[in-house]
Amino acid sequence: MSMPLRETPTEVRELSYAEAIRDGLAVAMERDERVILMGEDIGVYGGAFQVSGDLVQRFGEDRVVDTPISELGGAGIAVGAALTGLRPVYEFQFSDFATLAMEQIVNQAAKLRFMLGGAVSVPLVMRFPAGSGTGAAAQHSQSLEAWFGHVPGLKVCQAATPYDAKGLLLAALEDPDPVMLFEHKLLYKTKGPVPEGHYTVPIGQAHLCRRGGDVTIVATAVMVHRALAAADKLAEEGIEAEVIDLRTIRPLDRKTVVESVAKTSRLMVVYEGVKTLGIGAEVSAMIAESEAFDYLDAPIVRLGGAEAPIPYNPDLEKAAVPQEPDILEAARSLVRGRL
């Protein structure tokens, strides 16, 4: 199973997701001296997941800044740096630790442009290693992107491929507003084609990964890969699933999803965050309020995370979030009318 390729420049390499992000950071730092990196252990150590790697050796400690063990303080410094004209990229060791910095993210970064009548902007990028699957237990495995998607003033992205990880990062660094990049930890070692040099993936534009006429599966992050694998197996049974990678949680690509649902007449949303009040609820409401609602032949299905913290036990951890067999069974039931 592979992701369909988009048109790209001729110089393309096979990079891991983590390498693609590092390459994007290097490209941005070479192009713009205002771009700086900040975070705990991102210097000589290379980052909690080794994403920043050797960038401190390449660009120096003035531009790759190890911050103290204070997420609130580090995020506040990043907001201040953005307000003074820099282009900071702040890395949280785990997305869960962003809960310690919500004051700076939600009450400062997201609101200052509005509160000051557009006189300032906050060109800030924040990176969040997120999701389960690494045995890191409840305080290091959450998917909190829907929290941030609820806040006006923030843009929220989730790349599923190395190509998108680099392209969305570079697009975020050109955006005048704060952009939150959620990176699923299980994807860091996955590989794919990545063009050399500078390119961007538009924020707010979903990617139609696979065409089909029987059911639309909207997915995010690692769930895109599970949905595509399930779609291949469904095709062997005569069910053609159309798979959409949202890529951006806020703003949502209404057009792509609505057009797909109007064609297939069925919708399933697959995401790792807790099902209640998650991304699936917003996508479902979007369809219910659109012209695609009249085309639905079955109730919308939300396949989200369990209503519980992520367990440490590996079997329970897998059971807490959708897996490929769950997607298969839900899609079969949706198409064959067994809901």
In order, the DSSP letters of 279-307 are HHHHHHHHHHTSGGGGG-SS--EEEEE-S
- Structure tokens given for 267: 């919708």
Q: Among residues 334, 315, 337, which one has the least CA distance to residue 231?
A: 334
Q: Which residue has the tokens 């399933």?
A: 268
Residues of the chain with pLDDT under 50: 1-8
DSSP secondary structure letter of residue 327: H
Amino acid at 184: H
Q: Among residues 186, 192, 249, 241, which one has the least CA distance to residue 217?
A: 241
Q: Does domain 12-195 have CATH number 3.40.50.970?
A: yes
Helices (H) and strands (E) in the chain, counts: 12, 14
**DSSP β-bridge partners for residue 184:** 130
Helix, strand or coil, per DSSP, at residue 256: helix
Domain with CATH 3.40.50.970 in the chain: 12-195
DSSP secondary structure letter of residue 326: H
Q: How do residues 64-116 score in pLDDT, each as one tens digit?
A: 999 999 999 999 999 999 999 999 999 999 999 999 999 999 999 999 999 99
CA-CA-CA-CA torsion sign (136, 142, 143, 148): negative
Active-site positions read 71, 140
Q: How do residues 165-179 score in pLDDT, each as one tens digit?
A: 999 999 999 999 999
Q: Among residues 82, 86, 84, which one has the least CA distance to residue 105?
A: 82
Contact 245, 220 (CB under 8 A): yes
Domain with CATH 3.40.50.920 in the chain: 207-336
Residue 7 is predicted with a pLDDT of 44
Residue 177 is predicted with a pLDDT of 96
Distances (CA, A) of 59 to 27, 30, 33: 11, 9, 10
Residue 337 is predicted with a pLDDT of 83
How many whole angstroms separate alpha carbon 246 and alpha carbon 166?
A: 16
Q: Using a cut of 0.85, tell me whether the model's pTM lies above it.
A: yes
- Structure tokens given for 164: 């998108």
- Structure tokens given for 48: 């909690």
- Structure tokens given for 32: 């713009």
Q: Which class does domain 207-336 fall in?
A: alpha beta
